[in-house]
Structure formats: structure tokens, C-alpha cells
Structure 1
Amino acid sequence: MDTPQIAARLVELCRAGQFEQAQKELFAEDVVSIEAFATPGFEKETKGLAANIEKGRQFEAMSEATHSIKVSEPLISGNIIAFVLEMDMTMKGRGRTAFNELCVYHVKDGKIISEQFFYEG
């Protein structure tokens, strides 16, 4: 897949809330994920596909309900993909929370090799 195809598939899966499927399908084995900052239970940087899938499962376990997921159309520049992700969720022990972040992905050799998230804490 080329970068525009990966972007289209990534957006499709994220809009459907299929984040783990996106990782399994589109991410490289040595993918690196970088959060805006470390939070309790989550490091700032997570290396490797298996570790990133586990991080996603931990985040999912923290949620009670997902009310909506919105993903903007992707922006593509060479091998870089970016989009805005907005989620309205009810989190265990925190209540209903709105997440809004800029997601940036780097593609190499037909796979996502890194993702980075920008948001205010």
C-alpha cells in the first residue's frame, strides 16, 4: 500500500473504532508511539507493535462507553499522514470525557513506523 491508501484505510478503521485492527494491519513490527506526555500507567514512548497493542487494550479497559468518534479527513505530505481525532467517552472513575488530539503518522516501506499524538493535558 502507498501512503494515500494507508491514510484512507487508517481513517476508515479509526472512524469505526477499530484501533487494534488498524495497528495489526498497518503498523510495522518496530513501530514507535509517542504521546504528548507520560500519564499514570502510560509511558511517553512505547516501542514495538505488541507493546502498542497492549497499550491500546489498557486504554480500552479504562473506558466504560464510547459515545462518539470523529476523524477528520487525512492530510498527506510525502510519507506523513495527519488527522484530528475527537472522542467522547465515559472513563471509569472519571466520568464523561472529551478527547481531542492531532495524530501524526510516518510511513516507510508500506507500513506505519511511528505515530505521535499532540493534545493538551
Structure 2
Amino acid sequence: MSVEKIAVRLAELCRQGKYETAQRELYAEEVVSIEPYPTAAFEKVTKGLAAIIEKGHKFESMVAAIHDTTVSTPLIAGNSIAFKLTMDITMKGQPRQVMEEICVYEVKDGKIVAEQFFM
């Protein structure tokens, strides 16, 4: 799959909140995920598709409600994809908040091999 097709499909699935579907469909088995910084809940670096899917389940377990999600039009440069993700969200035990991040993906051989998030 081309970088352009991956970008369109990834943005579409993220807009629908179908992150695990995107991971299973578009990510390589050896994918790496990099967070802005380590937290009590998440390490800075997660390696492997199974571990990234589990990380998503952990995040979902921490969410009380997602009120809205916005994904910008993807930017493509060579084998890289980037977009802005905005989530109006209520985490369990916390007040409602708006989270914004830049999501950057690297594609190799038709699959996403790396994702990195910037806040």
C-alpha cells in the first residue's frame, strides 16, 4: 500500500476512533511507538504490534468518555505521515479536557513501522 493510501486510511480510522483496527491493518509486526515522555501508566518506547495494541487497551480502560475527536488532513513527506489529533475527553477521576498532539508515522514496505507523538 502506498504512503498516500496509508495516510488516508489511517486518518479515516482515527476519526472513527478505530485505533486498533488501524493498527492491525496498517502496522508492521515490529512497529515501534514513542510517547513524548514516560508516565506511571506508559513507557516512553513500546515495541511490537501486540504490545502497542495492549497499550491502547490500557488507555481505553482509563477513559470515562470521549466527547469528540478531530484529525487534521494528513501531511506526507517521503515515507512520513503527520497529522494533528485533538480529543475532547474525560479520563476516569479527572475533569473533562482537550488533548492535542502531533502524530508522526514512518512507513516502510507498505506498513507503518514507527509512530511518535508530540504534545
TM-score range, shorter chain: over 0.9
Q: Residue 100 of structure 1 corresponds to which residue in structure 2? A: 100
Secondary structure of residue in 2 paired with 1:40: coil
The letter for the 1-side match of 2:114 is S
What do you get for the CA RMSD once the two structures are aligned?
0.5
Q: Residue 46 of structure 2 corresponds to which residue in structure 1? A: 46
Q: Residue 56 of structure 2 corresponds to which residue in structure 1? A: 56
Q: Deviations over 1:74-113 (max 9, x none)?
A: 0000100000000011110112121100000000000000
Structure 1: stretches of 5+ with no match in the other structure: none
Q: Residue 84 of structure 2 corresponds to which residue in structure 1? A: 84
Q: Residue 10 of structure 1 corresponds to which residue in structure 2? A: 10
**TM-aligned CA deviation for residue 21 of structure 1:** 0.4
Secondary structure of residue in 2 paired with 1:89: strand
Identity %: 61
Structure 2: stretches of 5+ with no match in the other structure: none
The letter for the 2-side match of 1:9 is R
**TM-aligned CA deviation for residue 63 of structure 1:** 0.3
The letter for the 2-side match of 1:89 is I
Name the count of aligned residue pairs: 119
Secondary structure of residue in 2 paired with 1:20: helix
